[in-house]
Amino acid sequence: MGAKALFIDVIYGSKLAFHSLGLVTQTTMKRRKAQSTFKKTLIQQGVPPEAAKELAEEFPNPVSELFSILKSNAFSQRK
């Protein structure tokens, strides 16, 4: 592999990492907003605040699920 190709790979890899970090941050913020809206909607529909809080805490977190999938695949032994 030539020096130019290696340099280009490093640049694109850095760009991908930077964009991925931005997407993770954006997903986390949107999840929090959706979770809050879900909780408020439940309360408006007559669900007790304590129950609404419990239900909102069970709101799925795609970022942690993605990291757990990546972690389990990255460290599993290949056959």
What pTM was estimated for this model as a whole?
0.62
* Mean pLDDT over each residue of the chain, to the nearest integer: 87
Please indicate, yes or no, if residue 33 is contained in any of the structural domains: yes
Overall domain count for the chain: 1
3-class DSSP string for 12-71: HHHHHHHHHHHHHHHHHHHHHHHHHHHHHHHHHCCCCHHHHHHHHHCCCCHHHHHHHHHH
Higher pLDDT, 78 or 37: 37
Please indicate, yes or no, if residue 65 is contained in any of the structural domains: yes
- Give the domain range for residue 47: 3-74
pLDDT tens digits, 25-61? 898 899 899 999 999 999 999 999 999 999 998 887 8
Please indicate, yes or no, if residue 79 is contained in any of the structural domains: no
Please indicate, yes or no, if residue 16 is contained in any of the structural domains: yes
The enclosing H or E element of 6 equals: helix 3-44
Please indicate, yes or no, if residue 57 is contained in any of the structural domains: yes
- Cβ atoms < 10 Å from Cβ of 41: 12
